[in-house]
């Protein structure tokens, strides 16, 4: 059955792949972008900056005015800032959290009244494997994604009486433009006491991402979730080795898990 779907951050990467796939399945898809480029897409592109409450309200109202409802909300908008935690400025810290966590919360808060009125809906929050384990030199990214996890768990219980389902997606590395779009702390960009380990970790991040899975793998999974009446709460998607370590992490001692990650990212 065709549904009205709103996807944040849909102008590129995973969001674009999801939007294209869902539109091909016959759904009415609205994808958001901070700066729509005017190009033609197989889905509707509307302007939204998730860090601006007025921008979010305007975009949501546009969808409601046209369709009368939002059946599925996919919170995908995000960005990454690399660097040592000690070297993050207050501005850089807030920029990471504002986009990847607070922006998501703003969009959900704006959409929920319409879902409650219809007594149905799905909210799919795109977290990360980095939301299941802290990653060196991506500390604030992991912190934001950990916040998504806790928020989503609480939300799932609060909205269940209104027949609204909450789902968390934990992607591993996918080959997208996320690598080239990543920015870095001002201090680390100039070199610091963390430089050797920072450079090693950033190089491995880029290698993992560019050797990552095809975004359509995730898009097809999202398509199946949208169709399910009772989807699972958690979906870990990506390469086998990354899915395996995410599943094993709760059972491994912290010292072993840290050694595995430090060895992988060449942090010594």
| Cβ atoms 154, 108 nearer than 8 A | no
Asked whether the beta carbons of 107 and 115 are under 8 A apart, the reply is no
* Distance, CA of 67 to CA of 61 (rounded, Å): 10
Catalytic residue from among 30, 43, 114, 141: 141
Closest CA to 197 of 78, 80, 87: 87
- Are the C-beta atoms of residues 6 and 67 closer than 8 Å to each other? no
Dist. CA 46–CA 55, nearest whole Å: 10
What does DSSP say about strands 81-82 and 121-126: parallel, antiparallel, or unpaired?
Answer: unpaired
| Measured CA angle at 180 (ends 174, 184), to 5 deg | 110
- Pairing type for strands 234-237 and 44-47 reads unpaired
Report the alpha-carbon distance of residue 108 to residue 76 in Å, rounded.
12
Q: Token pair for residue 84?
A: 């040592």
Q: Of the residues 43, 122, 127, 128, which is catalytic?
A: 127
Report whether 172 contacts 166 (CB < 8 A): no
- Residue 156 bears catalytic tag: no
Of 69, 56, 78, 75, the closest CA to residue 28 belongs to: 69
Cα dist from 186 to 82, 98, 126, 228, whole Å: 10, 18, 27, 45
Confirm whether 145 is a catalytic residue. yes
What is the rounded distance in angstroms from the CA atom of residue 95 to the CA atom of residue 99? 6
Contact yes or no for 206/184 (Cβ under 8 A): no
Catalytic residues: 11, 127, 141, 145
């Amino acid at each position: 059955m065709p549904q009205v779907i709103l996807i944040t951050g849909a102008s590129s990467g995973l969001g674009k792949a999801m939007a294209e796939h869902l539109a091909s399945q016959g759904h009415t898809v609205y994808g958001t972008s901070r700066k729509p480029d005017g190009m033609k897409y197989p889905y509707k592109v509307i302007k939204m900056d998730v860090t601006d409450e007025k921008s979010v309200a305007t975009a949501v109202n546009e969808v409601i005015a046209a369709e009368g409802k939002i059946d599925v909300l996919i919170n995908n908008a995000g960005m990454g800032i690399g660097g040592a935690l000690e070297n993050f400025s207050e501005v850089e810290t807030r920029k990471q959290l504002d986009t990847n966590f607070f922006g998501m919360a703003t969009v959900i808060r704006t959409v929920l009244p319409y879902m409650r009125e219809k007594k149905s809906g799905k909210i799919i929050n795109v977290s990360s494997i980095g939301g299941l384990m802290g990653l060196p030199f991506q500390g604030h990214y992991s912190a934001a994604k950990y916040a998504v996890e806790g928020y989503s768990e609480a939300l799932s219980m609060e909205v269940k009486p209104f027949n609204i389902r909450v789902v968390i997606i934990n992607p591993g590395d996918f080959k997208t433009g996320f690598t080239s779009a990543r920015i870095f702390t001002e201090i680390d960009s100039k070199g610091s006491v963390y430089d050797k380990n920072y450079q090693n970790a950033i190089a491995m991040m880029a290698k993992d991402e560019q050797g990552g899975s095809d975004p359509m793998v995730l898009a097809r999974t999202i398509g199946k979730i949208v169709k399910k009446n009772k989807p699972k709460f958690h979906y870990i998607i990506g390469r086998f080795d990354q899915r395996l370590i995410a599943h094993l992490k709760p059972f491994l001692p912290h010292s072993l898990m840290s050694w595995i990650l430090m060895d992988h990212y060449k942090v010594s």
